[in-house]
């Protein structure tokens, strides 16, 4: 999902996360780590990178669901007597196309494309216990519901592109993976539900955004299934289709799905990224597929 911040703020926010990722990438092949190490590789866009804006201004990267998930997987590895290694290749702004062909505009520490870097990682750890999570596709349709209207042609094109490219991405990742590699994909919450809070016209746009989200998520689910990849149902976890019951929020009654978006993301300040609570919900949804 794309940031609304300036290029200067984006670059500053990324600096801390880049150092950690460079250290992880510098570990190189499996032989550089302790025997029995369990690995976690996070792939995708800004949600995988752990991007969010901060209440007082600015932003941060490296504080999202992948970090929450890594903390749990790391504890599990430690309890089982195994070392643990976490690498996050997520790039804010990444589309399915840029993941394959390059062009992610956010600063990132690896040369070439995210997909090529991930394939190299999978090959280097072909015999290891490796968990891979992937979220991608949101930026293919992110600009299709703006200015109080929904561009159906834009949405249809973006969904088709996301499905086609995800098929390519998973095909290449699975071909490079070893026998002990586990993949989990992810579908998406619907940030445009926040438009409900802006009045009658916003309520219409929020309602129209649900079938858009359902169609995109259905496409992601089907492509995941074609490759034998389970999908973390983030859409369900965020109650995306729950227009009822009405629940209290800021002195009014709103649909449950709207309340989820307003309290689990930063849409109150026009940032479509999850907040700490929302990222933990996403992590828990992944964990349910890894138990």
Q: Around Cβ 72, how many Cβ atoms within 10 Å? A: 15
What is the tens place of the pLDDT at every residue in 197-228? Answer: 999 999 999 999 999 999 999 999 999 999 99
**If you average pLDDT over residues 86-101, what whole number do you get?**
97
Inter-residue contact 97 to 114 (CB < 8 Å): no
> Considering the domain boundaries, does residue 248 fall inside one?
no
Assigned domain for 48 exists: yes
Query: For residue 109, is it within any domain?
Result: yes
User: What stretches of 178-245 show up as alpha helix (H) in DSSP?
Assistant: 200-226, 234-237
Is residue 163 situated within a structural domain? yes
Q: Is residue 15 part of a domain?
A: yes
CB 134 within 8 A of CB 106: no
Q: Which domain holds residue 14?
A: 7-144+152-189+229-234+276-290
Per residue in 230-253, pLDDT (tens digit) is 999 999 999 999 999 999 999 999
Asked if residue 261 belongs to a domain, the reply is no
Determine, yes or no, domain membership for 165.
yes
Number of domains in the chain: 1
Render pLDDT for 47-81 as a digit per residue (tens, 0 to 9).
Answer: 999 999 998 889 999 999 999 999 999 999 999 99
CATH of the domain at 111: 3.40.50
Query: Is the pLDDT at 272 greater than 50, yes or no?
Result: yes
pTM for this model (two decimals): 0.88
Question: Could you tell me the CA-to-CA distances from 97 to 59, 119, 143 in Å, in that order?
Answer: 25, 16, 15
Is 19 part of any domain?
Answer: yes
CB atoms within 10 A of CB 125: 25
pLDDT of residue 33: 56
């Amino acid at each position: 999902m794309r940031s609304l911040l300036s290029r200067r703020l984006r670059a500053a926010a990324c600096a801390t996360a880049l150092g950690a990722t460079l250290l992880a990438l510098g570990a190189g092949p499996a032989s550089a780590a302790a025997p029995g190490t369990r690995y976690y590789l996070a792939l995708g866009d800004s949600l995988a990178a752990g991007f969010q804006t901060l209440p007082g201004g600015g932003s941060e990267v490296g504080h999202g669901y992948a970090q929450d998930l890594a903390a749990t997987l790391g504890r599990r590895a430690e309890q089982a007597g195994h070392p643990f290694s976490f690498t996050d290749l997520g790039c804010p702004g990444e589309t399915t196309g840029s993941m394959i062909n390059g062009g992610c505009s956010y600063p990132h520490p690896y040369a070439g494309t995210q997909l090529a870097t991930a394939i190299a990682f999978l090959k280097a750890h072909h015999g290891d216990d490796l968990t891979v999570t992937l979220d991608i596709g949101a930026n293919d349709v992110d600009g299709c519901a703006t200015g109080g209207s929904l561009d159906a042609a834009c949405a249809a094109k973006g969904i088709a592109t996301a499905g086609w490219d995800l098929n390519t991405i998973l095909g290449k990742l699975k071909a490079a993976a070893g026998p002990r590699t586990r993949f989990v994909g992810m579908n998406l919450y619907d940030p445009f539900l926040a438009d409900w809070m802006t009045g009658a016209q916003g309520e219409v746009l929020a309602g129209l955004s649900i079938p858009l989200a359902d169609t995109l998520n259905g496409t992601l689910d089907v492509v995941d299934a074609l490759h034998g990849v389970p999908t973390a149902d983030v859409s369900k976890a965020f109650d995306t289709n729950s227009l009822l019951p009405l629940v209290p929020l800021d002195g009014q009654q709103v649909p449950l799905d709207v309340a989820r978006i307003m309290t689990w993301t930063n849409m109150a300040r026009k940032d479509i990224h999850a907040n700490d609570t929302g990222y933990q919900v996403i992590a828990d949804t992944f964990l349910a597929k890894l138990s």
